[in-house]
Amino acid sequence: MSEVADKSIQNEPSWARPEGASFEDWINSRIARFSTRNYDWDALKFQADYDPKYRRAQMRYVGTGGTGVSTDNNTVPSEHFTFSTMVIPAGHEGPPHIHVDVEEVFFVIRGKLKLVITQGDQRYETILTDRDLVSVPPGVYREEINIGDEDALMCVMLGAKKPVTPTYPEDHPLAHIKRTPK
C-alpha cells in the first residue's frame, strides 16, 4: 500500500464504514444500547475518595467524555463531541470545574439540580428540573448539586472528540489532588 493510501486510512473519520464491513455490521457499530452499558462509579472516584458528596457515576455512549477516562471500547467512537449520562445521588454534587476548550451541555432527564455558574466575581444560580437544558460556554466554572430527594439523571455532552481534562478553582481542595489516569 502506498504512503498516501496509508495516510488516508489514518485520517478516516470514526464513522466511516470500514472496508469489508457489511452495512448491518457497520450500523451496529454505531449503536450503543443501554443494556450493554454499565455505570462507572470509578471515573470520578478520586473526588469521592476526598469527600463522599462527590460520588456520582458516568455511563458513556459516544467517546469517553471529560472525566479523565482515556479509553472505553464499549462506546461509539467520538468524532466531534462526547455523550454520556451521569447519575448524581440525592445530596451529592459535581464540584466546580472548568472546561477551557469546549462547551458542555447538561440535559436533566429527571431530578432537581442546583446549577452554579461563576466567572471571576460573577455568580449565577438556578434550578434545573426534568427536561431542562443548559449550555455552559468554555472558560466558565460550573457545578451541579442534587437538591432533590432521589437520584438525578442527566445527559452530558462535550463539544470535542477528546476534551481537555477539566480543572478546579485554585482554592478548591480538589485542585491539589493528583488523579490516577484510567
Q: Is the pLDDT assigned to residue 1 strictly greater than 60?
A: no
CATH 2.60.120.10 segments of the chain: 39-176
Q: How would residue 9 be classed by pLDDT, with cut points 50, 70 and 90?
A: very low
Q: Is the pLDDT assigned to residue 178 strictly greater than 90?
A: no
Q: Report the alpha-carbon distance of residue 78 to residue 62 in Å, rounded.
A: 5
- The cell numbers describing 62, all together, are 459516544
CB-CB contact of 115 with 150 (8 Å): no
Superfamily of domain covering 39-176: Jelly Rolls (2.60.120.10)
Higher pLDDT, 70 or 156: 156
Percent of residues, the chain, with pLDDT higher than 70 = 92
Give the model's pLDDT for residue 110: 98
Higher pLDDT, 72 or 131: 131
Give the model's pLDDT for residue 3: 44
Length of the chain: 182
| Stated pTM of the model | 0.86
Q: Is the pLDDT assigned to residue 7 strictly greater than 90?
A: no
Q: What is the pLDDT of residues 46-71, one digit of tens each?
A: 899 999 999 999 999 998 877 778 78
CB-CB contact of 60 with 133 (8 Å): no
Q: How would residue 181 be classed by pLDDT, with cut points 50, 70 and 90?
A: low
